[in-house]
């Protein structure tokens, strides 16, 4: 009787872990904290600081697709995907969305 219960608990735990992983993949703030914060909180290498509307305005005017392209492929001193090539394009886009929202 205990074996089926134990198996069900293991399966539920694995499902919860997968759900947390999938949720984290689209959490722009978590990705920002992991991969973007070092430059976008200090202005390193000319990176616009998160929340600095004036610095972000000309970038936002170029359109979100341009911001995504620059973030995914690199632009000027910024390496592709902020130097974290393990990030998916969707994760990078979520981090960009998080920073743009903070600047609006």
Contact between 88 and 25 under an 8 Å Cβ cutoff? The reply is yes
Note the pLDDT tens digit of each residue in 52-85: 999 999 999 999 999 999 999 999 999 999 999 9
Using pLDDT thresholds of 50, 70 and 90, give the confidence band for residue 25: very low
What is the rounded distance in angstroms from the CA atom of residue 66 to the CA atom of residue 85?
Answer: 19
Q: What is the pLDDT of residue 81?
A: 97
- Regarding the domain delimited by 28-103, which CATH topology (the fold level of the hierarchy) does it fall under? Cytochrome Bc1 Complex; Chain D, domain 2 (1.10.760)
Q: What pLDDT is recorded for position 18?
A: 43
């Amino acid at each position: 009787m205990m074996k089926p219960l134990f198996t069900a608990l293991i399966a539920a735990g694995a499902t919860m872990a997968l759900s947390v992983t999938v949720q984290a993949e689209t959490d722009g703030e978590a990705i920002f904290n992991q991969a973007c914060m070092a430059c976008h909180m200090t202005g390193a290498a000319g990176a616009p600081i998160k929340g600095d509307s004036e610095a972000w305005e000309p970038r936002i005017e170029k359109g979100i697709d341009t911001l995504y392209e620059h973030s995914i492929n690199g632009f000027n001193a910024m390496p592709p995907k902020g130097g974290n090539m393990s990030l998916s394009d969707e994760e990078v886009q979520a981090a960009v969305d998080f920073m743009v929202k903070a600047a609006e």
